Amino acid sequence: MMKKIFRAVGYVLGLLLIGGLIRLRWITGRGWGVEGIDRHKDLPGDDVILRPHEVLTHAIRIDAPPDEVWPWIVQMGVERAGWYTPRWIDKYLWRVGTISIDRIDPELQSLEVGQRIQDGPKGTADFEVRDVQENRALVLHSRRHPRTGVPPDMSSPDPGPYLDFSWSFVLEEAPGNSTLLLIRTRGAAHVPWLIQRLAWVVWPMLDFAMARWMLLGIKDRAENESAATNMHGRS
């Protein structure tokens, strides 16, 4: 009798867990900060991954014009300005020694198409710059092993499992001399079927958290810098 009760309780808890994950996946898959925004509209970088398994768009309004937000975008990356995630994320999760900086670095204000931006220790995950439109858009592209981050050998007949995704940072002018900053991820998981199903659940959650951290980090830095610049200009 007790075994049947425990089994029934286990089934109920399992269904609740699955239902909760599906619900969380649905919420995060809709994006963060996109209320009132057409999250399906065409953006720069949409042509990098032509058949994505997932398309995720997030946004935030920043009280600074695009030309004051752009310097924070163009300097991002490991061994550069960081990704503007919280300090504890920089220190304990990424573990690559790059702490996100709170200033604009004049030496990091130039990017060219084809340039590589590190996203981990050298020899592992990185991004290729696919498009740079000053004050408008930065498009990055990465292929990496889902566990090690090492780029696959695409010249091989069997490159093994890998994630293939683009990351677009798009700045749009908004009312009040402000900026609408959008982050879009378009990704495909070239992995075994079971892992692909797991990625379908987990990827939106991770992307949601990362995009939210980054957007808030960029907003805070850009608005503080803009306010300081305007204050000095009036004095």
CB atoms within 10 A of CB 125: 19
Residue 192 lies in a domain: yes
Residue 5 lies in a domain: no
Residue 180 lies in a domain: yes
Query: Contact, 69 vs 222, CB < 8 A?
Result: yes
Residue 26 lies in a domain: no
What is the extent of the structural domain holding 71?
31-234
Nearest to 150 by CA among 140, 141, 139, 161: 161
Pairing status of strand 126-133 against strand 162-174: unpaired
> Residues of 6-37 as b/e, b for ≥16 C-beta within 10 angstroms?
eeeeeeeeeeeeeeeeeeebeebbebbbbeeb
CATH code for position 104: 3.30.530.20
Show Cβ contacts of residue 90 under 8 Å, excluding neighbours closer than 6 positions.
82, 83, 98, 99, 100
Residue 15 lies in a domain: no
pLDDT in tens, 166-176: 999 999 999 99
Region of poorest pLDDT, from 16-25, 46-55, 152-161: 16-25
Query: Contact, 84 vs 218, CB < 8 A?
Result: yes
Q: How far, in whole angstroms, is CA 216 from its chain's centroid?
A: 12
Tell me what the mean pLDDT of segment 65-90 comes to.
Answer: 93
Strand partners, 54: 187
Residue 6 lies in a domain: no
Compare 184 and 86 and report the one with higher pLDDT: 184
Residue labelled with tokens 């710059």 = 129
Compare 227 and 171 and report the one with higher pLDDT: 171
Residue 12 lies in a domain: no
The count of domains in the chain is 1
Q: How confident is the model at residue 23 (pLDDT cuts 50, 70, 90)?
A: very low
CB atoms within 10 A of CB 190: 15
